[in-house]
Amino acid sequence: MSEPQAATGDLVELSVPASSAYLAVLRTTSAGLGARLGLTLDDIEDLRIAVDEACAMLLPIAEPGANLQCRFELQNDALEVHVSVAASRSELPGPDSFAWTVLSALAGDVRSSATGDGVVIMLRKERG
């Protein structure tokens, strides 16, 4: 009997302290949700590394005491991940940087934006 697929629009939100000590929680959640979506083992590992890399980009600009907010949205054919943090500055590596190139190769669609009080990195990993 096969495992039921996630319903379109299932949403999982986590908030962890903005510290590298908590990134394993987000990597594990990424892997579990990627498996739920039916991603291949290689795609699951790419997703785990991409989420870790996105968080690593945000940690240096996080305000003291801030939390990393991670929102996972399961869609029919993709997992969309939004990682955000309260930040006093919005300096992220540019789209031409090595870090951004690696992130794009791992996750596919990658975008970032600055909000009034922080920075968001969006990753979209498609199945197949």
pLDDT bin (cut points 50, 70, 90) of residue 2 is very low
Contacts of 83 (CB under 8 A, 6+ apart): 26, 51, 54, 55, 58, 68, 69, 70, 71, 120, 121, 122, 123
Q: Is the pLDDT of residue 7 over 60?
A: no
Q: What number is the average pLDDT over the span 9-21?
A: 94
Q: Which residue has the tokens 């992130």?
A: 103
What's the pTM?
0.88
Note the pLDDT of residue 27. 94
Q: What number is the average pLDDT over the span 10-31?
A: 95
More confident residue, 98 or 25: 25
- C-alpha span between 50 and 60 (Å, rounded): 17
Q: Hey, what domains does the chain have and what are their CATH numbers?
A: 10-126 (3.30.565.10)
Q: Is the pLDDT of residue 122 over 60?
A: yes
